[in-house]
Amino acid sequence: MIVRPKPNLLGILFSLKGSIAKRIALRSLLVTLLASVIVLVETLHPAYFSKVNATPFTLLGLSLSIFMSFRNNACYDRWWEGRKQLGQMIIDVRSLIRETQILSDPVERAGLLRGLCGFAHGLIARLRVEDEARAIKPWIDVEANHPNLPDNVLQKIGARFSELAEQGVISEWRFTQLETRLVSLSQVQASCERIKSTPLPFPYTLLLHRTIYLFCILLPFAMAEPLGWLTPIFTAIVSYTFFGLDEIGDDLEDPFGFDENDLPCNAIVRTLEREILAALGEPLPPALEPVEYVLT
């Protein structure tokens, strides 16, 4: 995720960190070169373009803009929903840190809280299609062949809470509170998995991609006669805008990855890790800071 102050005019014009300009530069350049060729042909053979009207492109551009706004809003909703769920994970873990203070055995409490660290690391690894067992292993032992290791961690923690309740170490009311927090963590995992495993409908995205390319390729034909050699400039601006919005939507559709504009999953998990270790009186790893404005 990009974390930086609002740039000045020069920063707006030349900043590349977090921008999608690098990824769409080739496409925009090819469309601009095509526009230059079309203008050259129009200059040599103006009769070819005498009947080309800009009205259909105006209507198509308006419809395409509205269509893209719907898609980008849907993608942003996925990004923001992912951030809310990771925020809920922070709330639940902090609540469990506070509610487990009733445990008099520090070893018992440390095992439970370190399990929560394992859950957080395992969840992020699962969302990024990484090795869950490797992420969880430093914090708690899990069944390596289990199909859902983060949930397996919650099962172990919940089973231990149940044993403590049966032994009378914690009251029934306290057990209910702790179990409610574990249920909330399960909901966080399920919500994040829903975002990860349910992309936007492919025909919806495919239709938008095709329409953007057709519009940017055909637009110079309508602008060549009235604008002349200004056509490549305006074509570059339009293609940058449409290709850029399309690329941003692709970025936001999966918010748990490693792109510069994805959620700072590592930093969020490190925050939980530091707070749990602080509660246990153990040394703290350094907080993750933005590197060249990028918080991982």
**Distance from C-alpha of 232 to C-alpha of 33, rounded to nearest angstrom:** 7
The residue that leads in pLDDT, 151 or 258, is 151
- Better-scored residue on pLDDT, 186 or 59: 186
Separation CA 212–CA 170 (nearest Å):
61
Judge whether residue 9 has pLDDT over 60. no
- Average confidence (pLDDT) over 198-206: 83
Least confident span in 9-23, 124-138, 190-204: 9-23
Q: What share of the chain is helix, strand, coil (3-state, %, to 5)?
A: 75, 0, 25
Burial of 32 (0-12, 13-18, 19+ CB in 10 A): buried
**What is the pLDDT at residue 7?**
61
Do 257 and 128 meet the contact criterion of CB atoms below 8 Å apart?
yes
Say what the pLDDT of residue 273 is: 92
122, two tokens: 């395992």
Tokens found for residue 159: 């089973």
pLDDT tens readout for residues 240-252: 888 888 888 888 8
Percentage of the chain beyond pLDDT 90 is 34
Other beta carbons within 10 angstroms of residue 143's beta carbon come to 11
CB 272 within 8 Å of CB 89: yes
pLDDT at site 190: 95
Q: At what angle are helices 149-166 and 106-127 packed, to 10 degrees?
A: 160
